[in-house]
Chains A and B, each alone.
Chain A
Amino acid sequence: FTKMKAAKEESRPSKKVTYDDDDDDDDDIDWEMSSDSSSSESDGGEGPGTTVYTAAMFLKKQPGEEKKEKKEKKEKRVKKKREEDEGGEWEEVTKGAPMIKEAPKMFAKDTEVNHEAVIKKLNEIISARGKKGTDRNEQIALLKELQSISNANNLGPAISMKIMFHIISAIYDYNPNIATCMRSEMWEKCLAGVSELLDMVEANPDINIGENILEESENVTTPPYRVRGCVLTIVERMDEEFTKMLQACDAHSTEYVDRLKDEKEVCVILDRLQTYLVPRGTTEEICRVYLRRIEHMYYKFDPEAYDNPKLENKSFKDMEEMCKFIYAKDLTDRLRTRSMLCQIYHQALHDRWYQARDLMLMSHLQDTIQHSDVPTQILYNRTMVQLGLCAFRKGNIRDAHNALVDIQSGGRAKELLAQGLLLQRQHERTPEQEKIEKRRLLPYHMHINLELLECVYLVSAMLIEVPYMAAHEMDARRRMISKNFHHVMRMSERQALTGPPESMREHVVAASKAMKTGNWKECKNYIINEKMNAKVWELFYKSETVQEMVTSKIQEESLRTYLFTYSSVYDSLSLETLAEMFEIDQGVVHSIISKMIINEELMASLDEPTHTVVMHRTEPTRLQSLALQLSEKVSSLVDNNERIMELKQGNLFFQKSGGMQDRQDRFQGNYQQNRNQNWQDRRNQRQNYSQRERAY
């Protein structure tokens, strides 16, 4: 039962990751293969930032590898040699030549720079890609130079675009390790490169770009141009690199803030990509770019949209359109699931509770989510949390509790939301696993405040659990609604000395204790005070309304608790006094008490002419209550027997199973029943958010 979603997948790396790992291995193999032949090739040239890294790689593979420093030259040097020799000469470069070396030249002075020549050169440069000795920095420079030559010679936009594609992939190649991010200079280069590429693509809408265009069928010389490449993949990769950059930064440093400023740029690029792709891309591509945009939008809060729910806000409209497109056109299911979760998150974030709830229920995601990949499950968890917070803000305490209970009950919210790694008690992670998990973590700016989450959960649990406990004090069969809440309460009871509350949790505990005695004022003062405001409530937009809501809920639930607890000492109670005591409107008191009477929670009835509640003396004597308990137990025993019988039906080994087995079955049956009942109840209310209910 305690098996958690994320825990299940911890051991299973996502598909994408495996793929990347393979890539990594391939790289390594390449390195080794080329090591013998390329001792003369120059390597090094690593910037200071990555030196450590590459060095580590070298040490692992070829400990004795010598490193050479080489400086590149930017300006174009034209030599007298023919191009064929060019490459040769470049390889001949003497090893160990320590200082300024002449950068490889592009073209011989007298060669005519035409399309073939440039392409030949290009192929030459990129054939060195991935080889051990290749200076990756220099490659980028070479390609850039080539591009400027081709531009200088007016060879047309297509070839320049082709080279641009290669420049960007060279930048991506720069960092051979998938787990780390690129250096910030590289990132800036990359960002500039991609937006330059988009400039080109936009400026030349007649160029046909496609992944499926073969190298041979490319046409870069005359219109109609055909170029091999895929802008979408490049932008997607850029987006991933961006996430990695953010993951690598310390969330509280200025560096992070600087990096985060690029978010805007990334969004602009995605926007431009969308305008480019929508008229010409396949639906699949459009879905992909839409999802990228959605994933950059969904967690952003827009107060304007919040304040005017009627107003057709741009982000909402966009989101809705894109999501609808994906729902209708997507074939992969993954994109649909993700976009749906994002939309729910977005709506919940802006307090559109009904829409979010209905979408969540209609999607039936809670039934299938455990079959999807880890990042999607994380997104699901995030969405559930957001939905819970939204329900809380809207005053739907029970919904809030149901939505949050799964995340909060194991005490591993941090991990389930991918906001940090937890120390594991039972078993250590392998470094490999840790790496995978770290890669999944969300950048800091997308985090959901965990303290807020816990506080909302505990307060909702308090509002449900305290009156429930008061009502079922005598009941032998009462169930715990919130294990976590009970745990927190027990922890505080164990303390020998309880001082004034300090932390959020202590505040809630103190408030619960006050509520137990029906002291709503004290309870409210513990929940809403300056400390708690600063810690929790002010994190909500328009926190005053939330505070008001919490206050009124506390009043109502305290009243209920009070009635449950002290009804036995009263013969009659006047509604007016109650209304005064709890500072609630008399009509509300009337409605609350009526509800309790109808639900047979309170054995009483109202006396209308005098406005009083008259208690019915139905408190059973000790003997009677014992008899009632006994009858209940007997009937549950029969229930269980019947269930066992059902289970045994068709079981051939009926006789073999001894008492042990029987008892186990009974236990399981009981358990199952409770579970099922619980499940059923929630389903009936269309509120079954928990997908783990059944996976005990």
Chain B
Amino acid sequence: MAEFDLTTRMGQYLDRHLVFPLLEFLSVKELYDEKEMLKGKLDLLSNTNMVDFAMDVHKNLYPDQDVPNSLKGKRQDVVAQLKSLQAETELITKIFEDPEVVRQMQSSRDGRQLYEFLNKEHGFEASMVDTLYTYAKFQYECGNYSGAAEYLYFVRVLLPSTDSHFLDAMWGKLASEILMQNWETALDDLQKLKDIIDSNPFGSALQNLQQRTWLIHWSLFVFFNHPKGRDLIIDMFIYQPLYLNAIQTTCSHILRYLTTAVITNKSRRRTVMKDLVKVIQQESYKYKDPITEFVECLYVNFDFDGAQQKLRECEEVLVNDFFLVACLDDFIENARLLIFETFCRIHECISINMLAEKLNMTEEDAERWIVNLIRNARLDAKIDSKLGHVVMGAQAVSPYQQVIEKTKGLAFRSQMLAMNIEKKLGIKTGDLPQWGQE
């Protein structure tokens, strides 16, 4: 199943710290060699300040070796640096601990105003923001995400949006929130970051594209964990052309997540599916996996056996995907429903045993499943149990209905038109003498 693993492709668009959860997940699934995983982790850690973690990993990797001196030295460095930074920021943190300041912070929305207040009351200076930023960054490197998020919040409030660190602070905040799994706040931050990126602060199209690609990848964490995420992912990835464009140009593998989100989204599936199929078809030469192929089989080729085959593969893929593992059952259920729905639209008489085979169920289960569907009034059909058939209800639209459909809104629309014209005529007769004089 390693061939459908996207971690390497995703990793290049994620922050170091965000890759850890993915790697942890993979080592649990044992897709790859344990040793290699650990080595990879160690490499990842080499540029962070999480020395203790690195030491642990090192011990796991080479149980018979001592921890190298370089790591020990680094640990001392880090601690020293932390101390000095703490000393520097002590003053600032004190200010922020003042209950008066906290109240002011929460009440005032404007960064400038707050800054002036702090400046007046506590002698807060512009350079202190930078110190705070460095400290927050350091905290983040050490893996203390809650601290980082807290300080970055202040930095973001106090920095003007033109500052070079502003965007970095935003990214840092988002990463910290994701790593702390505060999905509400993360979603908030994500939205803010998106607004900033969409306001195009860089000017160059390439940079915009890069930023968007990063945002798309980071947002997966939020979208697949937040309860409303699966709606939002559709809005953002399909109906915002800029993001769809970014997906198509730089990271077509995101289609897997998009497709899953669409399939598991009951309410909007119907409308979105058409657009999604178009995108999948366009990109099929660049990217395909069982999930997109499932959609292709079902909606392009109407190959139900193929879809069935793919559905089985999908299961494997989903189990091994960090983001999607949670919605496995949801996906399977919905995918089945999709197959059945499409099947019903085409057929008027289906034998149950064939259906059971297509849906990957036993015959009895299938029958029960269909009965449930019929009972919930989601399907207009009858079961002929003697022959073992499901017979669909007739669905032909009568011409009368068609005519009624077509002419429904006409009267209203014509009335609106007539009213508009009358209004206009009224104005015009008033105006007439005026321009007659000209």
- Taking Cβ atoms with an 8 Å cutoff, the residues of A that contact B are 354, 362, 587, 590-591, 594-595, 597-598, 603, 605-610, 614, 616, 618, 620, 624-625, 627-628, 631-632, 634-635, 638, 641-642, 645, 648, 652, 654-655, 684-686
Contact = CB atoms under 8 A, between A and B. Distances in A.
Given A354-B286, A362-B249, A652-B435, 13 more contacts: A354-B285, A591-B301, A598-B302, A598-B342, A598-B345, A605-B348, A606-B346, A609-B387, A609-B389, A631-B406, A635-B407, A641-B417, A684-B278
B346 A655 contact: no
Contacts of A686: 282
B417 A645 contact: yes
Q: Is the interface of A mostly helix, strand, loop or mixed?
A: helix
A591 B303 contact: yes
Interface in B389-413: 389, 392, 394, 396-397, 399-400, 402-403, 406-407, 410, 413
B278 A614 contact: no
27 contacts: A354-B285, A354-B286, A587-B303, A590-B302, A594-B302, A597-B345, A598-B345, A598-B346, A605-B347, A605-B392, A608-B354, A609-B351, A609-B389, A610-B349, A616-B396, A624-B399, A624-B400, A625-B399, A628-B399, A628-B406, A631-B402, A631-B406, A635-B407, A638-B413, A638-B417, A652-B435, A654-B424
B122 interface: no
A614 B302 contact: no
Contacts of A616: 394, 396
Interface in B368-423: 387, 389, 392, 394, 396-397, 399-400, 402-403, 406-407, 410, 413-414, 417, 420-421
A587 B387 CA distance: 25
Nearest to B418: A641
Contact of A594 (B282, B346, B350, B432): B346
Given A598-B302, A627-B403, A634-B407, A607 B278 contact: no
A608 B346 CA distance: 10
Top 6 nearest A-B pairs (CB, nearest first) are A594-B302, A624-B399, A605-B348, A631-B406, A354-B285, A608-B350
B29 interface: no
B50 to A, nearest CB: 39
A591 B301 CA distance: 6
Nearest to B410: A638
B428 interface: yes
A587 B413 CA distance: 47
B302 A608 contact: no
The winner among B302, B397, B403 for most chain A CB atoms within 10 A is B302
Contact of A634 (B278, B347, B410, B428): B410
Interface string B238-279: 000000000001000000000000000000000000000010
**Size band of the B side of the interface?**
35 or more
A443 B182 CA distance: 68
B403 A631 contact: yes
A128 to B, nearest CB: 54
Interface string B289-303: 000000000000111
Of A627, A648, A685, chain B has the most CB atoms within 10 Å of the CB of: A627
Contact of A605 (B249, B346, B417): B346
Contacts of B421: 645
Nearest to B421: A645
B417 A620 contact: no
Contacts of B428: 654-655
B305 to A, nearest CB: 8
B97 to A, nearest CB: 52
A642 B417 contact: yes
Given A603-B396, A645-B420, A655-B432, A609 B407 contact: no
A627 B414 contact: no
B410 A635 contact: yes
Contacts of B432: 655
Nearest to A609: B351
A638 B348 CA distance: 38
Contacts of A595: 302
Nearest to B407: A631
Contacts of B394: 616
B406 A608 contact: no
Nearest to B400: A624
A605 B420 CA distance: 47
Nearest to B431: A652
B266 to A, nearest CB: 20
Contacts of B342: 598
Contacts of B413: 638, 642
Contacts of A642: 413, 417
